[in-house]
Amino acid sequence: MQRIANLLAIQDGKALLLQKPRRGWYVAPGGKMESGESIFEAAVREFQEETNTTPKNVHLKGVYTMVIKREQEIINEWMLYTFVAHGIEGVPYEETKEGLLGWFDIDQLHHLPMAEGDRTNLLFVASQQGIQYGTFEYTEQFELLSETIQNSQE
């Protein structure tokens, strides 16, 4: 089962987002965990590779079960771990083979084109306390079928 770690860096009230070329959708930089890595190590490594910067004050904000359904059948399932960072060291790439990087006001997370589950996830990361858990069910075309969310705080 695939494990994906991503990280939303926030600095001066803005979030660093990556616009992927395929659909033009925005995501938090991240990627696949490697064998033996912790989720924390994976999130930091992937962010560094994709942005050329180092995230500061890294903390886990969301753990999601991601499901792709065809009719009633689950045809793919993976885990998504989403971290926040408050501040980065360095100046991010503007363009990489992964897409275009840019800073966006937190409010724009409500409107920018993205997977609808990612919107739930990133809005929580950027503006709420605690940890969010949940399951997102998508079609193969990445239309959100359902989301089931839980939250907790220490």
Residues 32-51 that bind its own copies (CB under 8 A): 33, 35-41
Instruction: Pick the piece of the chain touching its own copies (CB under 8 A) from 30-38, 48-56, 87-95, 101-109.
Output: 30-38
Residues 8-27 that bind its own copies (CB under 8 A): none
Alpha carbons 80 and 114: distance in angstroms, whole number: 16
Kindly tell me which residue out of 25, 52, 63, 93 binds its own copies, with binding defined by CB under 8 A: 63
Examine residue 130 and tell whether it contacts its own copies (CB under 8 A).
Answer: yes
Whether 36 and 55 have beta carbons less than 8 Å apart is answered as no
Instruction: Report the candidate in 71, 8, 36, 119 with the shortest Cα–Cα distance to residue 134.
Output: 119
Examine residue 131 and tell whether it contacts its own copies (CB under 8 A).
Answer: yes
Examine residue 72 and tell whether it contacts its own copies (CB under 8 A).
Answer: no
Angle at 74 between CA 70 and CA 80, to 5 degrees: 115
Q: Kindly tell me which of 26 and 64 has the beta carbon lying closer to its own copies.
A: 64
Alpha carbons 31 and 133: distance in angstroms, whole number: 19
Alpha carbons 77 and 135: distance in angstroms, whole number: 10
Phi, psi of 22 (to 5 degrees): -60, -55
Site residues, its own copies (CB under 8 A): 1, 3, 33, 35-41, 57-60, 63-65, 67, 74, 77, 79, 81, 129-131, 133-135, 137, 148, 150, 152-154
